[in-house]
Amino acid sequence: MANEAKAGPKASPKSKGPQLPVVLSANNLLAGDVVFLAADGWTRDPSKASVGADPETAAAMEARAASDVKANLVVDPYLVPVTIAASGLPVARHFRELIRQKGPSIHPDYGKQAEFDNRYEA
């Protein structure tokens, strides 16, 4: 898995700006699971995550997340730089985020990659 993505800084409000394109990741407060901002709310399925391809969209995604933090729906939202796979799946560039996106790294038959049948190219 470490060969699939590179170590490097995550995009955050403290950085000079996100490396586009991005998805917005957070933790669901009640379930304790990693979730992604989608068009119709928060989802566990990374393939349904909204992708911010420009700074304005990324800023709007952050504003939506800030509102949901105040409503106690999610915690710790931040932008995650991604590449878009041929299948259309946004794949995290940083290995930590790739693990959060896929789920447990013990075997490909477990986690989100199995549950949502998301195909991650090697």
pLDDT digits (tens, 9 = 90+) for 3-49: 556 555 454 445 566 699 999 999 998 888 899 999 999 999 999 99
pLDDT for the residue 30:
87
This prediction has a pTM of: 0.76
pLDDT for the residue 75:
96
Higher pLDDT, 101 or 66: 66
**Residue in 120, 64, 66, 111 with CA at minimum distance from that of residue 92:** 120
Q: State whether the Cα torsion 106-112-116-121 is positive or negative.
A: negative
Distant-in-sequence, close-in-space partners of 89: CB < 8 Å, separation ≥ 6: 46, 47, 118, 119, 120
- In whole angstroms, give the CA distance from residue 69 to residue 38: 15
**Residue in 5, 8, 42, 6 with CA at minimum distance from that of residue 23:** 42
Least confident of 3-12, 49-58, 67-76, 78-87: 3-12
